[in-house]
Amino acid sequence: MTQQIFDLSGKVAVITGGSRGLGFEMAKAFADAGAKVVIASRKLEQCEQAAEAITRNGGNALPVACHVGQWSQVEKLMDTVYNEFGKLDILVNNAGMSPRYDTVDEVTEALFDKVIDVNLKGPFRLCALAGKRMAAGDGGSIINVSSTAAVTPSPSAEPYGAAKAGLNALTRSFAYAFGPKVRVNGIMPGPFLTDISKAWDLDKFAELAEQLIPLKRGGQPEEIVGAALYLASGASSYSTGSIITVDGGCAGNAGLS
């Protein structure tokens, strides 16, 4: 019974930002659970490499280039999925970006728009398109990957935090818009040691983690999998409009999102 409720056999899943980091870990886990996964990211070559890695391990993966900040590409992604598989069961809005800057007044309009486009505008359109088709079919699960920056002060990441707060709000709204056949939930990660963390001062981060994170460390990428599988599968059949925090306990501590 336990294995059955987490089984994704016969399901089709789209993961944006699926070629690396948390997205790639989710793609691997979904494929291991039996799903056909569509790995979407801006660079096709990286999608192809990720899909090949999953295929070598016995999974089923399709690479698709998509810049989620551009609605024409988002619409093309949905058309590609339905033309290829005839359905969509799981959507993970995972793609995100947070360019650094020295002071808030240096944030340009172009940078602000780029952050909003990728973290909020694109996921809105994907939720709308996927949710409508899922609701007209057999239903499905949408998972929006937010950040603890949405609920904590975010020095040097103000537009990102605002966008992720908006994504949390959309998660609740879309749960109402597409229920009862479509469940819409979110995952709110804290600091994870993915490839992005290579740009951090890791010594300083370790010092802060020791003081401010109850588990005293950053997350490992594979530690996102449990929450993702729960929300994607029948295990979460009575969960919608919820945000699951996966952050080692650090929510509320500024600068650790």
Rounded distance, CA 39 to CA 118, Å?
A: 16
Rounded (10°) CA dihedral 174, 177, 180, 185: 0
* Of residues 102, 84, 150, 104, the one with CA closest to residue 123: 150
Whether 68 and 43 have beta carbons less than 8 Å apart is answered as no
Angle of helix 122-136 versus helix 71-85 axis, rounded to 10:
30
* Of residues 91, 124, 94, 116, the one with CA closest to residue 21: 94
Query: How is residue 210 written in tokens?
Result: 């020791």
Q: Spot the catalytic one: 101, 160, 176, 230.
A: 160
- List 187's β-bridge partners, or say none: 145, 244
* Of residues 192, 148, 146, 200, the one with CA closest to residue 172: 146
Query: How is residue 244 written in tokens?
Result: 């699951």
160 is catalytic: yes
For 171-203, give the DSSP string. HHHHHHHHTTTEEEEEEEE--B-SGGGGGS-HH
Catalytic residues: 160
